[in-house]
Amino acid sequence: MKDSSRNQSELLEEIALLRRQIRDLQNTESRYKALFTGASQGILAAGLDSQQFIYANPALCNMFGYPEEEILRLRVSDIHPENALAQVMADFDAMAQNQKTRASMIPCLHKDGSLFYADISATSIRLDGKPCNVAFFTDVTWRKKLENQLKQSEEQYRLLADNITEHVWLMDIKTLKTTYVSPSIEKIYGYPCDEILNYSLRKLLPPESFQKVKNAFEEEMPKALALPPSIVHKHTLEHEALHRKGHLLWVETTFSILRDDKGNPSFILGETRDITKRRKAEEALRESEEKYRTILETIEEGYFETDVSGNMTFFNDALCGILHYPREELLGMNYRNFINETELQKVFSIYNEVYKTGHPLSAFVCLITRKDSVPRYVEGSVSLLKIGQVRSSDLRESCATSPAANRPKKNSTRAKKDTVTFWKTSRRAIMKSIWPEISPSSTMRNAKCWDTPVKK
């Protein structure tokens, strides 16, 4: 009886233990099921041999656009594009053999045929007694798009950097070591990129230019730091540089101070271009201007320049003597103050004819008036001169001493050979009053006048 009672008691305890284990198992199953169904990652289980899908959670179904019962009829090869299958199957086998646990940027096919990319991590387990691969899918299409955009941007930048004539460089502000140079550097200095990165500024600049650049950095740094971090301070200077072959060249450098995330200066961004040809052209122009200025100050011909309104901006002493105006009074005076108003229509007709036909006109006469009210005849010639894309005219005028009815002939020995020369006078000034149809970009040049009193 005791044995029977003990056996019954033990049996009840075993039944109670079994019920507790069942409840624990049910609770564990519920938790795992909740994790499986509620996971944000797509979870997919496939048989190792058949590659047939066995389980798929809701996130995986949403990711691929299939209902669960439909996706479980598919295989691994059905959810990847054909051109990527070889790599996908190789990754699947490697993960099945525990040779790798993760594959990145795997192309996947949505039910609608669209392509997206996923990072897949996997592990091998046994489900229902069968070996399976359980894979976890994370949609990274957004990252793929960013990578493509970045790659495209880098290619465009590289194309730009490789083909621009300007040289772009980046220098560490603490070490003054160049960390990047664009390939166009070789066009300017003659050094390849990998070689010039090893050189300091002292190697590339003559002493005077190095000091000039150094002083510019020191002067502009406080200005840059005084500005808000969002504003990039820039400064441009011209200086000489040393070519690899040893000769000097002129360059124009624009540099700006770049800051890090904390607002501290970190790099100097520079843009350098070769201006040697421009400097030579400017020097030749200066020499030419000095030569002509010397001529203008020594000849007896009068010379003057006007602004676009026809006001005097430059003239020589000979013009003051011809017009009898002191220099301080003549400066800023409009040309119409000494050209007789009765002559405007005639001057307009002459210039209009020359401008329209392009044919020069010589020996025309008009009347001007000096400050002392003494009239003078101006005998001149007009022709158009083309400079680049700008149309200009060459005007020579001479003055006679006879009245209008008895003007001297062109070779008259009685005429005093004082000459007024119009040089680079903007035609827009005259056109405002007598020739509005003509392009404002035209200019008048070389107007010579032989000054002769009008006979009373």
For residues 246 and 304, membership in a common domain is answered with no
* Distance (Å) of CA 400 to CA 121, 273, 394: 103, 56, 20
Is 456 contained in some domain? no
Q: What is the pLDDT, as a whole number, of residue 107? A: 94
Calpha distance 310→104 (Å, rounded): 75
Rg (CA), the chain: 45
- Please give the single-letter amino acid code of residue 152: Q
Mean predicted lDDT score pLDDT of the chain: 76
- Per-residue exposure over 241-266, b if at least 16 CB sit within 10 Å of its own CB, e if not: bbeeeeeebbbbbebbbebeeeeebe
Q: What is the pLDDT, as a whole number, of residue 447? A: 40
For residues 323 and 261, membership in a common domain is answered with no
For residues 258 and 309, membership in a common domain is answered with no
Domain count, the chain: 3
For residues 390 and 434, membership in a common domain is answered with yes
Is 450 contained in some domain? no
Is 181 contained in some domain? yes
Q: What is the pLDDT, as a whole number, of residue 390? A: 34
For residues 98 and 206, membership in a common domain is answered with no
For residues 226 and 261, membership in a common domain is answered with yes
Identify the H or E element spanning 117.
strand 115-127
DSSP category for residue 337: G
Residues 116, 118, 122, 127, CA torsion sign: negative
Is 180 contained in some domain? yes
In sequence order, which residues have a C-beta less than 8 Å from that of residue 34 and are 6 or more positions away? none
The CATH number of the domain where 361 resides is what? Answer: 3.30.450.20
* Distance (Å) of CA 51 to CA 47, 96, 98: 5, 11, 16
For residues 207 and 79, membership in a common domain is answered with no
For residues 214 and 343, membership in a common domain is answered with no
Q: What is the pLDDT of residues 435-447, one digit of tens each?
A: 333 333 333 333 4
Q: What is the pLDDT, as a whole number, of residue 344? A: 76
For residues 91 and 175, membership in a common domain is answered with no
Is 7 contained in some domain? no
Is 121 contained in some domain? yes
Is 354 contained in some domain? yes
Higher-confidence residue: 67 or 396? 67
Calpha distance 456→454 (Å, rounded): 6
Task: Please give the share of the chain, as a percent, with pLDDT higher than 90.
Answer: 22
Q: At which of 224, 248, 279 does a domain end?
A: 279
Calpha distance 265→281 (Å, rounded): 38
Task: Identify the CA nearest to 119 among candidates 134, 135, 106.
Answer: 106
Is 294 contained in some domain? no
For residues 101 and 53, membership in a common domain is answered with yes
For residues 303 and 424, membership in a common domain is answered with yes
The answer to whether residue 233 scores a pLDDT higher than 70 is yes
The residue-averaged pLDDT of 367-375 equals 85
Domain that holds residue 183: 164-279
The answer to whether residue 415 scores a pLDDT higher than 70 is no
Q: What is the pLDDT of residues 333-364, one digit of tens each?
A: 987 788 788 887 787 777 778 778 878 877 77
Q: What is the pLDDT, as a whole number, of residue 414? A: 33
For residues 439 and 314, membership in a common domain is answered with yes
Secondary structure E strands in 165-299: 167-172, 178-181, 234-242, 248-259, 265-274
